[in-house]
A = this chain, B = another copy of it.
Amino acid sequence: MVNDSGKPPGAGRTRRRGASLEEAILRAAVDEMLESGYAGLTMDKVAARAGTNKNAIYRRWPSRLALGVAAYRRLVTAVQPPDTGDLRGDVLEMLRGANRHWSSPLGAILRELMSAAGGAREFLTQLPEQSGDAAAAAWLTVLGRAVARGEASPEALHPRVATVAVVLLRNEFVVRGVPTAPDDVLVEIVDEVYLPLVRGRGSAPAQDVVK
């Protein structure tokens, strides 16, 4: 009835199915989210933009949040650990990268998603750079090189220790809600916490020797 006059989608004339439709929906979701953030990502708008209807979406993603997370994953790329030649440089570089990301529109979206997930693990683990292991790897790489150079002690090669810096930075965003972390904060994290931590830890096995 509305075959050729109603809406000229420009896409295939033939009715889309399966993967092709899924792709269209996801692209629509991505675009919507870039324009209006996750808050502005409504199922109706996505459906309209994809030239389909909510049914087709719900057949693939169980909820708005799931779609949002899927769309976000399209937008991020894994970070490469830098190699400036010294630990402080590497760490600062990574922190600055993270800070840029969190301060960017993408970071805003990420924060919205984390908010919406509200601690639901099944969603949190889908978010890159939140899913622990992946993020920890880059830090361990950087730290590994530093240990080889003698800049850090081998005991620091521990996920919990290696990622302390980003955790602190993330804390600024998530808990304090800053829009962007000033560079002094990054430097402070590195010089007051991270470097002393991975260097120092010399003498005591940290178990019982107190004095």
Contacts and interface: CB of A to CB of B under 8 A. Distances in A.
A158 B124 CA distance: 31
By secondary structure, the A interface counts as helix
A173 B175 CA distance: 12
B124 A176 contact: yes
A200 to B, nearest CB: 3
A97 interface: no
A104 interface: no
Interface of A: 86-88, 111-112, 114-121, 124, 130, 132, 150-151, 155, 158, 160-161, 164, 167-168, 170-171, 173-178, 188-189, 191-193, 195-197, 199-204, 206-207, 210-211
B176 A121 contact: yes
Contacts of A193: 160-161, 164, 197
A175 to B, nearest CB: 6
A171 B177 contact: no
Contact of A175 (B130, B176, B189, B201): B130
In order of increasing CB-CB distance, the 7 nearest A-B pairs are A200-B200, A196-B201, A115-B118, A119-B177, A121-B177, A191-B206, A197-B197
B161 A171 contact: no
A182 B183 CA distance: 34
22 contacts: A86-B210, A87-B210, A111-B119, A114-B174, A115-B119, A117-B177, A124-B175, A130-B176, A132-B176, A160-B188, A170-B171, A191-B207, A193-B197, A195-B206, A196-B200, A196-B201, A196-B204, A197-B200, A199-B200, A200-B200, A200-B202, A202-B202
Contacts of A112: 118
Nearest to A135: B175
A166 to B, nearest CB: 9
For A118, A120, A151, A204, which residue has the most chain B Cβ atoms within 10 angstroms? A118
Nearest to A124: B177
Nearest to A175: B130
